[in-house]
Amino acid sequence: MSNKLCIVIQTYNESALIHDCVQNARDVGDSVIVVDTGSTDDTVSRARAAHATVLSHPFVRYVEPARSFGVTHADGDWVFLLDADEYIPPELAAEIRTVIEAHVHNSYRVPRKELFGRKVWLRHGGWWPNHQIRLIRKEAFRDWPPAIHSTPIIEGSEGVLENPLLHFSKNDYARIVEKTTIFEDTEAELLAKAGRKATVPVFFRKFFGELYRRLIRDHGYLDGKIGVIESIYQAFSKTITYLYVYEKTTGRTV
């Protein structure tokens, strides 16, 4: 049985990160495919320069459609899904090869280690272990519902890997805010369609509820200053969602 591994990377304007990401992926997989969703910078040319195969997919504000496209177009028996701001360390790479050879399960969840500024590990505040389905046997893949936060439909059993994927997302708050506005607008559309209401009491409840969850209940304060900052930011992000819901359900701006 062949056990060829294809790494699939979904991108949108990842010029600063894509070269190193592809290089890391090439060290792990037998092939690398970049699924670009309409980048307006030089992400595509840099990905090709790093010797990745580049496929195009229409821009969607959430990753699930592009990931489904990537899995179905992968040229391997197994697929590992990777974002441009993520890194597969050697320990995880070795474990991936081991479970592929053993083939006990058809998919695997991977713990993801959030590293603020590539240095501070966010161990609390709900960030760890944040398991996500990333390793999939292509033959067992059936579908991925085209909705934000949806779970892929994969035939057979699911396993859990021990070694973490590294996530370097917390490096540039200007970019984080930009992504937040896109992501939360999409989330708000779903909430508005579901009939959720947004009032002043809701704004306060969402902000302080998320702040309590991240900072106190899930012990975000134990990560020090960075943990406090992240807890406040996540509360801000949750409130932004409901500000968008207010606009969409009332037709008025705040």
Q: pLDDT tens digit string along 56-96?
A: 999 988 899 999 999 999 999 999 999 999 999 999 999 99
d(CA 83, CA 96): 17
Q: What is the pLDDT of residues 120-158, one digit of tens each?
A: 999 999 999 999 999 999 999 999 998 888 999 999 999
CB-based burial label for 228 (10 Å; 0-12, 13-18, 19+):
middle
Strand 158-160 vs strand 107-110: parallel, antiparallel, or unpaired? parallel
Q: Roughly how many angstroms between the first and final C-alpha of the chain, as a whole number?
A: 59
Radius of gyration of the chain (CA): 19
Q: What is the pLDDT of residues 180-190, one digit of tens each?
A: 777 788 888 88
Greatest Cα pair distance, the chain, in angstroms, is 59
Q: Residue 41 in 3-state DSSP? A: coil
Helix (H) / strand (E) element for 9: namely strand 5-11
Asked whether the predicted pLDDT for residue 14 surpasses 90, the reply is yes
pLDDT, position 1: 55
- Contact between residue 242 and residue 203 where contact means Cβ atoms under 8 Å apart: yes
- Contact between residue 240 and residue 204 where contact means Cβ atoms under 8 Å apart: no
d(CA 209, CA 202): 10
- Backbone angles phi and psi of 138, in degrees to 5: -55, -40
5-169 has which fold? Answer: Spore Coat Polysaccharide Biosynthesis Protein SpsA; Chain A (3.90.550)
Q: Which sequence spans correspond to the domains of the chain?
A: 5-169, 172-250
Q: What is the pTM of this model?
A: 0.90
pLDDT classification of 173: cutoffs 50, 70, 90 = confident
